[in-house]
Structure 1
């Protein structure tokens, strides 16, 4: 059997892979080979227009075996901000892997060919440091299962919004990558889609001095759990919320702004919209609206209510 590894794109914050596999006791997964796909996903940060990562190798660690390594010819440059809403770009395809439980995945990075660009500075490129990226790589620890004679598709959820920081003082580069990754099984995920009336929200806020004005078109924040507490994005937040932040995009035909939060494991979520800027290195006092709880079902799209909600 063969396996392919892919890159995909959206945005999330949680780390780990424990929910993606079993203990390895299933005899059907303990011998032979299986087919598996991997992807990486993201959503854009405030001022970032390009986050290009040069991948040079993918490594998988079987629970009871040596690392399985897949070098890329030269390096594979991927602009993570091009990969949103479930779009994918393969890194390696049709390669066999031993069936069984795996405990770690690593992505090896070429930092010399990785960079970021900002909306505010056009085509200027800024260097991007990835600590240990060329030696041990970006790490995802935790169990995931590859069953024998079976195809299993995974997506690596890579949150650029939280991962890119602007270091102070003597730094290795203009920007630093502090990766926040998680792994999901594509058979166990669904999505949330909806629309936001940004024009109405902007008008309402401008007419009310007690409300903060909109600073940009805004984004929908996704939090784990029903009736979850809303919070800003902060690189120091260890709680895992918000799980995902999805910027809205104008739908010309309706004049509303649309969004899709994809690769969400089955379960309950809380979503809320904000049009205030959110610095991922500071505690920001952000105003939310349109907060609602939704259930996500695998392989289905859950439609959210229009924001702002009708009172």
Structure 2
């Protein structure tokens, strides 16, 4: 049994490119020091409103990123860069952010490819009546804290999969975009589970200090698509301002995957590519900072 939340909230690891220019960092080439080139990673949190939920609170102990090839490494592996560790675990009400960014931490780390982000959460306490660390509340009952179960969030961390790149000599960023339709699942016994399968990584190319969102649902009825690449571009440019991978799940007789791209106000086209299907380009759509622009269902058409 699955209950659909009406919002899409995003946890953002922001690698801020372009607007701050190129900054020379230690070990970024030149001088023959022999050190590896590095870039800077900033991690933040952002969200948009929900019609059904008053709060969604997660309590974060640590954020790690995983270099390509180390996907099976233990959380305490010294090869996994730690973006931030909180001496006191940090509770964050994701739904209170509403198109803002809460910076969680910053790290200088080796340039290169990364395939995973791990979110280590504080466990909920045992015992009847104990106040949970991870929970949600309903707008219809805002005083009742319903525990949000995170089975992997304490031991191995919520493992968010997706490839992103840290460039040397600049401040870089990614966005972890939660799809609540698959990230939060309501069990038949009333438990709410948080799973990383509904979270994807998006790598924007600009600072998103004040932004809106483009949302839609990619769908196919007669043929499965395991993943699709979504790119958001200004109509006069071939360079994406945001891009990422969306994974499908089978529901209601079709394969579908919702997406949400957070971008500054302006005009954009959304491009979708999936193996075995014709490429899709949306009409030019205007985005206003602080608001959602919905594209509805994007039907994938199988190629002959």
TM-score (norm 1): 0.54
2:52 paired with 1:52: no
Is 2:158–2:195's contact at 8 Å kept on the other side of the alignment? Answer: no
Cα gap change, 1:186 to 1:299, in 2 (>3 Å): farther
Match of 2:98 in 1: 84
Q: CA RMSD in A?
A: 4.2
2:117 paired with 1:105: yes
Which residues in structure 2 correspond to 1:59-208 (within 5 Å)?
59-63=64-68, 66-69=79-82, 70-85=84-99, 87-93=100-106, 95-112=107-124, 113-160=133-180, 162-169=182-189, 174-179=191-196, 180-187=198-205
Cα gap change, 1:269 to 1:49, in 2 (>3 Å): farther
Which structure 1 residue ranges, 5 or more long, are not aligned? 1-9, 14-26, 194-219, 226-233, 245-260, 271-291, 306-311
2:262 paired with 1:262: yes
Is 1:184–1:263's contact at 8 Å kept on the other side of the alignment? Answer: no
Residues 85-134 of structure 1: per-residue CA shift (max 9 Å, x gap): 2x0112113x2212221121111111311111111112111111012110
SS of 1:73's partner is strand
Higher strand share: 2
Cα gap change, 1:107 to 1:300, in 2 (>3 Å): same
SS of 1:168's partner is coil
Deviation of 1:162 (Å) = 4.2
2:41 paired with 1:36: yes
Deviation of 1:60 (Å) = 1.2
Cα gap change, 1:293 to 1:144, in 2 (>3 Å): closer
Residues 242-296 of structure 1: per-residue CA shift (max 9 Å, x gap): 324xxxxxxxxxxxxxxxx6249x74279xxxxxxxxxxxxxxxxxxxxx94346
SS of 2:143's partner is coil
Output the CA distance in 2 between the equivalents of 1:242 and 1:184.
13
Cα gap change, 1:167 to 1:302, in 2 (>3 Å): closer
Cα gap change, 1:303 to 1:122, in 2 (>3 Å): closer
Output the CA distance in 2 between the equivalents of 1:122 and 1:156.
26
Output the CA distance in 1 between the equivalents of 2:167 and 2:182.
33
SS of 1:71's partner is strand
Residues 205-259 of structure 1: per-residue CA shift (max 9 Å, x gap): xxxxxxxxxxxxxxx952359xxxxxxxx97548443324xxxxxxxxxxxxxxx
Cα gap change, 1:37 to 1:267, in 2 (>3 Å): farther
2:283 paired with 1:294: yes
TM-score (norm 2): 0.55
Match of 2:8 in 1: 11
Output the CA distance in 1 between the equivalents of 2:144 and 2:289.
40
Given candidates 214, 217, 241, the residue that maps to 2:257 is 241
The number of residue pairs the alignment matches comes to 206
Output the CA distance in 2 between the equivalents of 1:117 and 1:147.
40
Is 1:41–1:158's contact at 8 Å kept on the other side of the alignment? Answer: no
Output the CA distance in 2 between the equivalents of 1:296 and 1:36.
30
SS of 2:188's partner is coil
